[in-house]
Amino acid sequence: MTIIKRQDGTNLKIALEGRLDTMTAPELEKELNASLDNADTLTLNFADLAYISSAGLRVLLSAHKVMSKKGGMKVVNVNEIVKEVFDVTGFADILTIE
């Protein structure tokens, strides 16, 4: 998985490429822990994310909880497979997905 980070003032944009699973989720968690303090809003671009597992969902949920106290978090460009996971797990109702 590749993490492409772009900070635009207090707006943090992160694009993910590849698979967000048990092996790669800690990488994203570390990156978010380091970056979220300086961000008011978080946009996750999932255009090139092929797959998300429950470990990945856990990281998203943590980030969602942190950002909901600030400017919020949204997930954009979600593909069908990932959308399905969001639907099944109920994340679609919790997260802001555009």
Partner 1 sequence: MNRKSLTAKTIRSTVLSSVALGLVAMIIGLGFYGYTLVHQYITRAFETAKLASVSAQRGADSVALSKEIMRIYRSLSEEERNRVGTEEYRQHFSALESVSKKGGAYDVLVHMLRTFVNEVDYVYLGMYDRDTQALVYIVDSDEEEPLFPGEWESVTKQGMEKFLNWNGEGMLYDIDNTQKYGWMCTAGFPIRDEAGEVCEFLLVDVSINSVIRNMLKYALQIGVGLALATALIALLASRRIKKAVVRPIDAIADAAVTYVRDKRSGSDCQDHFSGLNIHTGDELQNLSQVMADMERDLAEHEQQLTRIAAEKERIGTELSLATQIQAAMLPHIFPPFPDRTDFDVYASMDPAKEVGGDFYDYFLVDDDHLGLLIADVSGKGVPAALFMMASKIILQSVAMLGKSPGEILTKTNEAICSNNEAQMFVTVWLGILELSTGKLTCANAGHEYPVLKRKDGGFALYKDRHGFVLGGMDGIVYKEYEIQLEPGDKLFVYTDGVPEATNLEQALFGTERMLSALNACPDAATPQDVLEQVRRAVDDFVRGAEQFDDLTMLCLEYKGPQPKEGDAI
User: What residue ranges bind partner 1 (CB under 8 A)?
Assistant: 21-22, 25, 51, 53-55, 57-58, 61-62, 65, 87-91, 93-94
Place of tokens 């470990």: 55
Q: Based on DSSP, count helices (H) and strands (E) in the chain, helices before strands.
A: 4, 5
**Residue closer to partner 1, measured from CB, 8 or 18:** 18
CB of 86 to partner 1, least distance (A): 10
CB of 19 to partner 1, least distance (A): 9
CB of 95 to partner 1, least distance (A): 10
Q: Are 44 and 73 in contact (CB under 8 A)?
A: yes
3-state helix, strand, coil in the chain (%, to 5): 45, 35, 20
